[in-house]
Amino acid sequence: MAILPHPLMIIFVTLLSHTALSASAAAATYNVERLGAKADGKTDSTKAFLAAWAKACASPKPVVVYVPQGRFFLKNVVFGGKCNNNDVTFRIAGTLVAPSEYRVIGDAGYWIFFEHTLGFSNSKNIKIMGLTSLNSQMFHIVINGCNNVKLQGVKVSASGTSPNTDGIHVQASTGVTILNSQIGTGDDCVSIGPGTTNLWIEDIACGPGHGIRYLAIARHWESRQGDERGRRAKCDG
């Protein structure tokens, strides 16, 4: 799996409260390459990314973790632990490359995981913009137990014959908005698990894929102009 930038934009992955997009010009910047990451697509750069995260969490001022152009190989990595900084932005100009062999990640169930801060678990105030996820081995993006999440301009791509490659999976979360995104997979474009409330999906191009699937019985499901683009859909659990 690789996470790629849109050809005309830089990816901003903003994790508010374990992260927020700052308007401050005084933000410190930690370049993962300067911390030992190699942009050759094969050298394990996991430790350098974790070092950047640790520095960001210890900083008393806004921080940008910057991934320059190039291909950066990462094994499964958890951005977690105690973080004293609520203003951290990940700015990705390059490509993040996952192991090609499934057994490298094994039973971890994730590749890149933000804990208490792709999966995002038990986090709040998350913004993901312009992200492209290519050929994940399983779910591409998982939002679990989160509050106030916005995904915009996301692109997910996998073979139409690849099983269990849901584009975006949301569960046990509230206040999630998915806008202006293109999703093509071998499974659900968006899957909605139990405990999800106040979910808004608008202008989603889906295909190949199984569309938007609600995996639990909800009290209210409303869809307007609901064709394959998932033009507008609202779910209140």
Residue 44: is its pLDDT beyond 50? yes
Tell me the per-residue pLDDT of 63-109, one tens digit each, with 9 for 90 and over. Answer: 999 999 999 999 888 888 888 888 888 888 999 998 887 666 666 66
Identify the DSSP state of 67: E
Chain mean position to CA 190? 13
pLDDT of residue 50: 96
Residue 32: is its pLDDT beyond 60? yes
In the set 44, 116, 203, 210, the catalytic residue is 210
In the set 87, 166, 187, 188, the catalytic residue is 187
Distances (CA, A) of 126 to 37, 56, 89, 178: 25, 16, 10, 12
Quote the CA–CA distance of 190 and 170 in Å, as a whole number: 8
- HEC sequence for 179-230: EEEEEECCCCCEEECCCCEEEEEEEEEECCCCCEEECCCCCEEEEECCCCCC
Tell me the per-residue pLDDT of 206-235, one tens digit each, with 9 for 90 and over. Answer: 999 988 988 754 444 444 333 344 445 555
Please give the average per-residue pLDDT across 171-175, as a whole number: 94
pLDDT of residue 53: 95
Distances (CA, A) of 99 to 13, 76, 172: 21, 9, 29
pLDDT of residue 136: 82
Quote the CA–CA distance of 110 and 122 in Å, as a whole number: 15
- Is 210 one of the catalytic residues? yes
Quote the CA–CA distance of 92 and 145 in Å, as a whole number: 25
Tell me the per-residue pLDDT of 99-154, one tens digit each, with 9 for 90 and over. Answer: 887 666 666 667 888 875 456 788 888 888 888 888 887 888 999 999 999 999 99
- Residue 163 one-letter amino acid: P
* Higher per-residue confidence, 114 vs 156: 156
- Is 187 one of the catalytic residues? yes
> Which residue is associated with the tokens 């849901």?
166
